[in-house]
Copies of this chain bind each other. A is one copy, B any other.
Amino acid sequence: MPSYATNMRLKFPILALTLEVVTIVLYALFVVYDTGDAHGHDGSHAKSNTTQSTSPMTLYPMFQDVHVMIFIGFGFLMTFLKRYGFSSVGINLLLAAFGLQWGLLLQNIWHMHEGKIRVSIDRMINADFSTATVLISFGAVLGKTSPVQLLIMTLLEITIFCINEHLVVEFLGVSDVGASMTIHAFGAYFGLAVARVLYRPGLRNGHEKEGSNYHSDMFAMIGTVYLWMFWPSFNSAIADPGDPQLRAVINTYFSLAACTLAAYATSSLVEKKGKLDMVHIQNATLAGGVAVGTCADMDIQPFGAMLIGITAGVISTVGFKFLTPILASKLGIQDTCGVHNLHGMPGILGGLAGIVLAVLYIASLDFCCYQCGLVMKIPLWGQPPDQNCFEDSIFWEVQEEEEEHEDRLTHGDDSKNKTEA
């Protein structure tokens, strides 16, 4: 077992409990149920659906689809790393659990009604959306951070996201129903900026644990397929009810279908023996959902969505194959999950309409993100040294015997008792 200096025993519990207690106090002061009386207009992502139906639970099935994407989709997609699966799905759960509480506060602080934030299903959907930015960024730095750094990143990123979202929606009046820009591109570029700040020269030639094995790739496909299936919900949850919502579902469904064919084709084409690469299949097949996001509810017709999808599938796969290594070697951005290829470029593609503005925005946001990266770099937070990257046993209890004889199950590899070597 490698030695380490990343003892979380006081700093992590203290930070986690402090954040939770502060959050509870703020909820005690400001947060109530959205039951009964009047609903005020709010500029948050999701339109209140009270005009459509008096049932407060109308959006609940849509909420659960988004919820599954956040906790299963993102969580398992990142389990491709062969020795980092506990962190991938476990820390995903932690960051999203904290992020949704904090996101709900910060998204609605602008829209208080008699000094209170009123929780409804559509606000819970938006809170889940805000955590998506953090989970995307987590993917960029996956394997190279400590839980303390990540909680701090969650706090900072969601704050910036909510401010950004408020400005973009309220003041710029931008329409981005699938959040190609406001969530995907934002999360990707935030993550890449942080990755840049946390650049590790020692990992220039990779790391023996930065890879997958057969079973970790299978676990990751659970994440991929859930994201793929429920993306129509992600893109339509915040659309206006009726025809716009139906269009958002249909456009996403077809964009993803076309993207899948394109990703498979391109993956085969860029390998000299024509073999498929699981990294492409796990990620690039989803790019269509990201790319169609901004105009998901618009009248682009199914074939229009498919054109977007086929483009995204090709670009994303090519990015994984050729661009990610260049980003690492030339720009010092070590993007573990390749979020730039799934959320970054396809997000930009999606927001093409507002791209000039987006570039300017990203430039100033990147400055903020760079500062956040510097905050995260503070040694106190217990970032693991190079050789301990991509290794669960730094932060988790993992059985030692497994590493030698995982399948010799009848020969004393009990995690509690070492009955034999």
Contact = CB atoms under 8 A, between A and B. Distances in A.
Contacts of A276: 86, 90, 147, 395-397
A16 B313 CA distance: 12
A217 interface: yes
B261 A16 contact: yes
A208 B12 contact: no
A416 interface: yes
A156 interface: no
Nearest to A120: B246
A397 B278 contact: yes
A60 B7 CA distance: 47
Given A271-B397, A413-B208, A278 B86 contact: yes
Contacts of A243: 33, 35-36, 56
Interface stretch (A163-171, A178-186, A248-256): A248-256
Given A19-B261, A228-B71, A396-B276, A271 B9 contact: yes
B261 A208 contact: no
A124 interface: yes
B64 A230 contact: yes
A73 to B, nearest CB: 10
Interface in A180-217: 205-215, 217
Interface string A251-274: 001101110111011101101111
Contacts of A226: 72
Q: Interface of chain A, helix or strand or loop or mixed?
A: helix
Contact of A229 (B61, B64, B301): B64
Interface stretch (A92-100, A339-347, A353-361): A92-100
Interface residues on A, range: 35 or more
Interface in A32-46: 32-36
Interface stretch (A77-85, A133-141, A368-376): A77-85
A93 B409 contact: no
A106 interface: no
A419 interface: yes
A56 B242 contact: yes
A20 B415 contact: no
A12 B303 contact: no
Contact of A275 (B100, B396, B407): B396
A218 interface: yes
A71 B228 CA distance: 9
A83 B303 CA distance: 37
Nearest to A70: B229
A144 interface: no
Contacts of A64: 61, 65, 229-230, 233
A224 to B, nearest CB: 8
B403 A408 contact: yes
Contacts of A67: 229
A421 interface: no
B413 A256 contact: no
Given A64-B229, A230-B64, A405-B407, A306 B27 contact: yes
A409 B82 contact: yes
Given A208-B419, A405-B407, 16 more contacts: A8-B275, A13-B265, A16-B268, A24-B306, A24-B307, A32-B301, A33-B243, A61-B61, A64-B65, A89-B225, A97-B260, A98-B260, A100-B257, A211-B416, A271-B397, A407-B407
Interface of A: 2, 7-10, 12-14, 16-17, 19-21, 23-25, 27-28, 31-36, 52, 55-57, 60-62, 64-65, 67-68, 71-72, 75-76, 79, 82-83, 85-86, 89-90, 93-94, 97-98, 100-101, 119-121, 124, 147, 205-215, 217-219, 221-222, 224-226, 228-230, 233, 241-243, 245-247, 249-250, 253-254, 256-258, 260-262, 264-266, 268-269, 271-278, 281, 285, 299, 301-303, 306-307, 310, 393-399, 402-417, 419
